[in-house]
Structures are given as C-alpha cells and as structure tokens.
Amino acid sequence: MPFGYGLPAFFLAAFADGSNVPLAMLAVFGAAKLLAELFERLKQPGIVGEILAGILLGPSILGWVRPNDMLSALAELGVLFLLFRVGLEVKSSELLQVGKTATMVAFLGVVAPFLLGWGIMWLWGASSIESVFVGAAMVATSVGITAQVLASKGLLSHAASKVILAAAIIDDVLGLIVLAVVSSLARGGINVPELVFTGVGAIGFTIVVAKWGTRAMGTVVPRLEQRLKAGEVQFNVAVIILFGLALLAMYAGVAAIIGAFLAGMALSDSLQPRVHALAHGVSELLVPFFLVGIGLHLDVSVFSHVETLILSTLILLAAVLSKLVGCGLGALAMGRADALRVGAGMVPRGEVGMVVAQIGLNLDVIPASVYGVVVFMAVATTVIAPPLLGLSFRNVRPASPGD
C-alpha cells in the first residue's frame, strides 16, 4: 500500500473508527465537489471528477482514505436514493412499452461481453474457469452512473433513456443468472432446479412490481396519508417502501438498487413535489460517496507488470466495445443515433463487476492480478461512460435540466 504524502495517519484514524464524522464527510464530499468543479470548467463531466477524487484519496495515490464500513454504507444509501429518484421520474407503462427492444439490448449486451471477455482470457492462456469468470464479470451494467448523468442533464424522458433503464433491469436479472451458473461451475456442478427457482423469483418480482406497483401505491399512499399522524407521512412511507423493496429485491436475487428504482417508479404518481425535493436532498449529499467509493477501490499497483497493463487495456477495450456494439445492435431499430446512445449508457460496470471478481477471488479461481484487471475495467468503464453519453446525446435538448 503506497502511503501518501502527508497526513495519512490523521485521515486514516478519523475514517477507521468513525470517531470524526465531520472530517470524513468534509474530506470525501469536499474532494468530490472540488474535482467536479474542476472537470466542469474543463468542459468534462463532473461525475468523472468525483470518481477521480476517490482514486486520488484512495490507496492508488494519496492513501488518505480506505474503503470502510461507514463509507460503504453511505455509498450504498447514495446509490439507493439515486435510483429511487430516477424511478420517481419514470412511468412504468413507458418502460413496459419498450420491453421488447430492451430485452434485445440486454440479451445482446450480456452475450457479447461474456464471449469477448472469455475469448480474450482463453487466448491469453488462462484456464477455462478463469476465462468464464472474467467474462461473467464483464456482463452486468451498473446503471447508477448512467442514471446520474441522464438525471443531471434532464434526459430521463428521452426514448433512449427509457430503453437504457429497462434494459439495465433485465441485464441485472440475466447477470444474476450468469453469476449463478459460473459460481456453480466453480464449485463443481450446476444445480438446475435452484437456478430455475432463482431466475423465476427474480423475474417474477421485477415484473409484478413494475406492472402493478404504481396502481397499488396509488391506493395505499393516500389511505396511509389520511390515517397516519406522525410528521412527514409521505416521506416516511416512501422511505419505508424504498428500503422494503430494496430488501425484497435482494431476497428475490436481484440488486437492491433495482428494488429502489422500482419503488420510485411505483410511487411516481403518488408523491407530492415536496417529497421529491426531500429525497433529492439525500441523494445530493450521498451520491458523491457512491462515486468516490468506486474510485477508492482502484489499486494501481497491479500495473507494475507490463503484461497486466496490456491485458487491462485489452479487457477494457473489449468491455466498452462489446456493450457499445452489442447493445447498439439490439436497439438498431430505433435508428443509429439512439442505438449509439443506448450502447453508451450500458457501458459502465461499476461495483457489479467488482463483486463478481471478488467471488472469483474468494473461490480461488482467479488470481489477484486478474482481480486487479477486472476492478480496473469496472472503474475505467464508469469514467469513460459519462463523456461517451455526453457525446452521443450532444444534439438532444434536455426536458428539465438539473432535476
């Protein structure tokens, strides 16, 4: 671990035992916003600056901050509220309308990176189980980054945005199945009934909430509002539904953020603008922790070998191109411009790829150097996606900039 250029012990102590919450908040939030400002001035996406703030503060460069329980919890809360807020701006009927295109996008966007990642590793001389794991780690899109870019540019109502969001949900379910298959392979065999059970549960949960959630909330929220007396009723109900659906999503086998997104979508017709603003406050405060958290995970020390550096570049190129081309092909019926937008929106892998690589590392089927390669791919795709999105949407006028 390269231990920075001053102050590291001071910072690490404050973060490690959580004894100095103001310092931890100030350092992470302040660094994120400082770099966001710098990037905006250089006409680059602020979100990239916030991820780079994490790389800068983290073990890669300064070594002042290391990932810990408190920062992870704030990061997870941040991305949950981000997806909830994005859900609030989306109508489920509109997502269901683009279901067919989104399914194509998701499917091709899973197959292409898996095959490409697996192929590269196999040609590189890795074992077949190692190749399969790297392929699997390249599958799942992390929709948080794209959602943040689209929301901040006021582009959530664009047709391509709907396809991206719907495809990201389906992608998450497919990614779950891929992960279940490769994990079983690594453990020695596939349990087909369990796999079917998991798949059906995940798909069932998502469809039920997407299809009937809005109507259910339209009935439940006004009644609760009439009957409950304590404080900000709508906000409290919204928070409980948000975490409740996030939890159910986890039990159903999909990511908690999918549950949060579905909760937002189900509640989009039932909440007052005031509650939107309250939820927006939470995500404004905590999304920087999600972005910085991504950067914190990168450890550049893996690149001391030239070989690893070459492999990282190859895998990164494969990760970007396979989603751009795979997802783009799936959305080609919308025209080339929209196909490119959809492809760019599906590029970021973020924390999902890291989780898969972590499992592979724990199961001892991928070595530490390959784990580093996958983490690099996951972080780098999130850094590349915002400018790609900006480029692909450059001729589109926002519907409601800022919020």
Q: Which residues bind its own copies (CB under 8 A)?
A: 17-18, 20-26, 29-30, 33, 36-37, 39-41, 46, 49, 68-70, 72-74, 76-77, 80, 152, 228-232, 235-236, 239-240, 243-244, 246-247, 250, 256, 259, 274, 277-282, 284-285, 402
Count CA atoms within 13 Å of residue 201 on its CB side.
16
State the minimum distance, in angstroms, from the CB of residue 84 to its own copies.
11
Place of tokens 């102590």: 13
State the minimum distance, in angstroms, from the CB of residue 228 to its own copies.
6
**CB 108 within 8 Å of CB 327:** yes
Calculate ∠ Cα 257-183-319, nearest 5°. 60
Q: Using N-to-C axis directions, what is the helix angle for 273-296 and 46-57, rounded to 10°?
A: 40
Would you say 39 or 393 has its CB closer to its own copies?
39
State the minimum distance, in angstroms, from the CB of residue 48 to its own copies.
11
Would you say 74 or 132 has its CB closer to its own copies?
74
Per-residue CA distances from 231 to 73, 234, 240, 274 (Å): 26, 9, 14, 14
State the minimum distance, in angstroms, from the CB of residue 366 to its own copies.
22
State the minimum distance, in angstroms, from the CB of residue 162 to its own copies.
24
- SS3 state of residue 259: helix
Would you say 284 or 307 has its CB closer to its own copies?
284
Instruction: Please state the separation of Cα 231 from the chain's center in Å.
Output: 33
State the minimum distance, in angstroms, from the CB of residue 137 to its own copies.
20
Place of tokens 């001035």: 41
**CB 144 within 8 Å of CB 201:** no
State the minimum distance, in angstroms, from the CB of residue 205 to its own copies.
14
Would you say 15 or 114 has its CB closer to its own copies?
15
State the minimum distance, in angstroms, from the CB of residue 402 to its own copies.
8
Would you say 256 or 315 has its CB closer to its own copies?
256
The closest of 85, 56, 52 to 257, measured between CA atoms, is: 85
Would you say 33 or 91 has its CB closer to its own copies?
33
Would you say 80 or 354 has its CB closer to its own copies?
80
The CA-based diameter of the chain, rounded to the nearest angstrom, is 66
Per-residue CA distances from 276 to 74, 97, 250 (Å): 20, 25, 25
How many H helices and E strands in the chain? 17, 0
Close Cβ partners of 317 (under 8 Å, ≥ 6 residues apart): none
Would you say 207 or 355 has its CB closer to its own copies?
355
